Amino acid sequence: MRRILNQCANAAVKSKGTIFEIVYRRLVSRLGHNQTIGAIAHRLCHLIWIILHRGVRYEERGPSVNTKSRRQRTSRMIRELRNLGYRVEPLGTPA
């Protein structure tokens, strides 16, 4: 069973623009490839359990989550710089 989940996690990571690819890129530098694939497999198990037991439909949230989190991080960093006494003006909409 573990081998099947690891293969599914590898396939999910290689799909461009998915939340699993984003999580993989975020964790692989700290954990290494094998442990990161294990973490992705764990997320897949949890996701499958939610789909089967709650009867919800899966919707991919990849790039939209990345854009939203980047916007939130930018505004948080600007607020922190302002609290430190710096004068910061964003050039446009935070990307």
Query: Given this model, what pLDDT does residue 42 score?
Result: 93
Tens digit of pLDDT for each residue in 18-74?
Answer: 888 889 999 999 999 999 999 999 999 999 999 999 999 887 776 666 677 788 888
Query: Given this model, what pLDDT does residue 39 score?
Result: 94
Indicate if the pLDDT at residue 95 is higher than 60: no
Position 22 in a domain: yes
Position 56 in a domain: yes
Query: Given this model, what pLDDT does residue 66 score?
Result: 66
Position 21 in a domain: yes
Position 46 in a domain: yes
Q: Which residues of 48-59 are buried (b: 16+ CB within 10 A; e: fewer)?
A: eeeeeeeeeeee
Q: What are phi and psi of 51, to 5 degrees?
A: -60, -45
Tens digit of pLDDT for each residue in 10-22?
Answer: 998 998 878 888 8
Alpha-carbon distances, residue 34 vs 27, 38, 65 (angstroms): 11, 6, 25
- Name the nearest CA neighbour of 27 among 41, 45, 16, 11: 41
Q: Which domain holds residue 7?
A: 2-60
Number of structural domains (the chain) is: 1
Position 76 in a domain: no
